[in-house]
Copies of this chain bind each other. A is one copy, B any other.
């Protein structure tokens, strides 16, 4: 990694986080702006926030976007949380004033690259990042390099099928990991179980559910247990196929890891091959807020 400052942007559904990042992945300064759906207005707002740094001189800008990104063309093929489909985000950034190297990447893929530098100090061969938020995303580092796949969409770990007869998923499939461990799936399952006990409950967040579970609430405990078992089954597939050195969790729901990860690891040990199951080290991100923007910044050569 050549010396010098980079600008990292993490473009999420509600907030855009920006950071000035050095070549070792340290965040020297940071800002945030609210997300607006219009890509032209958004690019302009981000440019205004970034301009003071740009004028001091940066090597380039990396942008992670919550969606399916065509990195080569700088086009967001699909970003449901932003309501974008086929948006030439590179063109909007250039029009807003952007100069110099500018690259785009899926946000979970960028976060994996950030975690590889910030949390693992480039000292592992392979990393599977699992991003636990509204949905479940992922990013992959193999042989010390970011792995994007043929069209840049590698890492959709949330859509590993845990049970072909499981709940309907937003992707059209059934029993995807996301239906058990995504915030939407967790809330829906809690509401269903609460209703079965005659308890009205229309909007339980994963944070509520974690609090309830820590107080010993049986419904909340059952929901996390179910999520842990589903994660364990998905991990067994990942571990048998990819034999990763580190599996790192990030995102809001990762803070509840003590409620589901022990169950998941028990299932993993019981069902995967022993050697790769033993080899996999588990981590929860210490700085989930920074992974995406640092990773995006470090994509700039």
The distance from the CB of A237 to the nearest CB of chain B, in whole angstroms, is 5
- Apart from A153-B275, A173-B271, list 18 A-B contacts with CB within 8 A: A126-B150, A142-B142, A143-B145, A143-B147, A148-B243, A149-B242, A149-B245, A150-B243, A150-B245, A153-B243, A153-B276, A157-B241, A159-B240, A160-B240, A163-B164, A171-B273, A172-B271, A238-B241
Per-residue B-contact encoding for A224-243, CB less than 8 Å = 1, 0 else: 00000000010011101111
Contacts of A153 in B (CB 8 A): 243, 273, 275-276
Within 8 A of B (CB), among A55-92: 68, 77
Residues from chain B with a CB closer than 8 A to the CB of A272 are: 159
Is residue A244 contacting chain B, with contact meaning CB distance below 8 A?
yes
A-B contact pairs, 11 of them (CB 8 A): A126-B150, A149-B242, A149-B245, A150-B243, A151-B275, A160-B237, A161-B233, A162-B164, A163-B164, A172-B271, A173-B236
Task: Answer whether residue A194 sits at the interface, using C-beta atoms and an 8 A cutoff.
Answer: no
Interface presence of A156 (CB below 8 A)? yes
Assuming A143-B142, A164-B163, A233-B164, is B154 touching A243 (CB within 8 A)?
A: yes
Q: How many residues of A contact B (CB 8 A)?
A: 46
**Chain A at the B interface: SS class:** loop
Q: Which residues of A contact B (CB under 8 A)?
A: 68, 77, 125-126, 138, 140, 142-143, 145, 147-157, 159-164, 171-173, 233, 236-238, 240-245, 271-273, 275-276, 279-280
State how many angstroms separate the Cβ of A276 from the closest Cβ of chain B: 5
List B contacts of A279 (CB < 8 A).
Answer: 149-151
Partner of A142, one of B77, B147, B152: B147
Partner pick for A242 among B154, B161, B163, CB 8 A cutoff: B154
On whether the beta carbons of A160 and B241 are closer than 8 Å, the reply is: yes
Chain B residues closer than 8 Å to A164, beta-carbon distance = 162-163, 233
